[in-house]
Amino acid sequence: MPEQYKSLQGFRDILPEDQPYWRYVEKAAAEVAQLYGYRRIETPLLEETSLFRRTSGEGTDIVDKEMYSFDDRADKEGHRLNLSLRPEGTAGVVRAYLEHGMFKLPQPVKLYYLGEAMFRRDKPQAGRYREHHQFGCEALGEEDPAVDAEMIGLLYQVYTTLGLKDIQVYINSIGDGNCRPQYIEILKDYYRPLLDSCCDDCQVRFHKNPLRLLDCKEPQDQAKIANAPKISDHLCEPCREHFAAVQTFLKAYEVPFSVDPLIVRGLDYYTRTVFEFTSTRDKLALNGGGRYDGLAEILGGQHTPGIGFGAGIERIIQELKRQGITPPEELRPRAFVAYFDRTPEGKNAAVQLVAELRLAGIKTEMSYGDRSPKAQMKRANGSGADYAVLLKSEELAEGLVTVKDLQAAGTDIDSKQVQVKRDELIAYLQQ
Ligand code: HAM
């Protein structure tokens, strides 16, 4: 027996029964993004590894441990590129913005991506997959705090449109190149004498990515985090004003938010406003985002402020299910054609009719494999169709078919069943 293949650990099939959830989320996301003036972009799944290394940053989990990278074949000159499946969407969008000269357009350029697959070799666990999909927005070329508020407002409106309740919005400012380095020194001064009692990861974070000390989940480090100096007390004046304006404008979008000085985010490119939404505290983040005013420069572009978010579609769907929100059902078939004459002519008449109805845009099913009339009627009932169309050779000879209303209540056979002229069937089903 050949070995039975299974999908890879952390990778999932999205089966037909789950598709209505995906379409429901995608529809709400696209509608709200467009309402706010965002236009769709798709970027390649594969990029040069250095694009992600330079933007997300060395010392981040994504770059150090989680990327799927490989050497490409050498080109004619013998050059070989190292490529990676994208772990996140922002780097590719900023690359595209620079590559296509979008800085020449009126700013900000507002873009969204939807359903894009991201790959991280994370430890698979609930809500954490090695392939996940994001809805994301990026606004490039504007540092106005009104854009920050708009970004958070947009995302919140997606959740309310979906009918989700109890969404917690946490925002913070992590300063900029002016004030953050000073804060990081203060943070390191605080941690230095405590380092021996910190977890192994924090020992590394202290050197590589000190801000992430505040993101540690180990119980032994929680008291240290609670007493650590807060970045909000060390913002420079422009950052403080920017963050105050974000909060004022956010009220216009009726977003109930809290400032959480411990939101620092896991990627290096963030500056100033950062945010995360959860359904209940301590649950996995539904989304994360923030400003990245220095990112375009890292990629060789002009100074280009930017802000965006990525929301995990799997996590949104998990939350919809948890809150008992069901998406609209898929369209039921309008007709199910059953043929009682199982000769080649009878079968041909059924196939002809099914094709004709479908070409007229009527969702139609039939059962295959020349089953008995009884078995076909069982299928018809199980299909959820509105009507069964019964083809019998003696009726067809007179240009008639029988239409049975499968959804009608009661047992009165006559009220459920009518004879319809074969050439008036389309009009009858379109009523
Ligand atoms: P991120 O926080 O790394 O940010 O990911 C965004 C969201 O993607 C998370 O909040 C979560 O919903 C989902 N997500 C991440 N990893 C996984 C996983 N392993 N399994 C399931 N879902 C996951 C970014 O990716 C940034 N690019 C967001 C951004 C855009 N910032 C500015 N612009």
The kind and range of the H/E element at 81 are: none
Residue written as token pair 């449109």: 161
Do the Cβ atoms of 204 and 216 come closer than 8 Å? no
| Mean pLDDT, residues 242-250 taken together | 98
379 is in an annotated binding site: no
265 is in an annotated binding site: yes
Quickly count: other Cβ atoms within 10 Å of residue 2's Cβ: 4
Q: Are 312 and 133 in contact (CB under 8 A)?
A: yes
The two three-digit tokens of residue 394, written as one number: 């003696």
Q: Is the pLDDT of residue 61 over 90?
A: no
Distance of CA 60 to the CA centre of its chain: 22
CA distance 171 to 324: 27
Ligand 1 in reach of 268 Cβ (< 6 A): no
Count CA atoms closer than 13 A to 358's CA, side-chain side: 11
Judge whether 121 and 67 are in contact, CB under 8 Å: yes
Shortest-distance atom of ligand 1 to CA 62: 3
Q: Which domains does the chain have, with CATH numbers?
A: 16-179+235-322 (3.30.930.10), 335-429 (3.40.50.800)
The sheet that has 387-391: what strands, in order across it?
364-366, 335-339, 387-391, 400-405, 417-421
Confirm or reject: Cβ of 310 under 6 Å from ligand 1: yes
Distance between CA atoms of residues 209 and 207, nearest Å: 6
Q: Is the CB of 286 under 6 A from ligand 1?
A: yes
Gap from CA of 132 to ligand 1 centroid (Å)? 9
Ligand 1 atom closest to residue 286's alpha carbon, by position in its atom list: 12
- pLDDT tens for residues 107-145? 999 999 999 999 999 888 888 999 999 999 999 999 999
Query: Is 293 a pocket residue for ligand 1 (Cβ < 6 Å)?
Result: no
| pLDDT tens per residue across span 334-380 | 999 999 999 999 999 999 999 999 999 999 999 999 999 999 999 99
pLDDT at 74: 94
Ligand 1: nearest atom to the Cα of 315: 12
Write the DSSP symbol of residue 167.
-
Whole-structure pTM value: 0.92
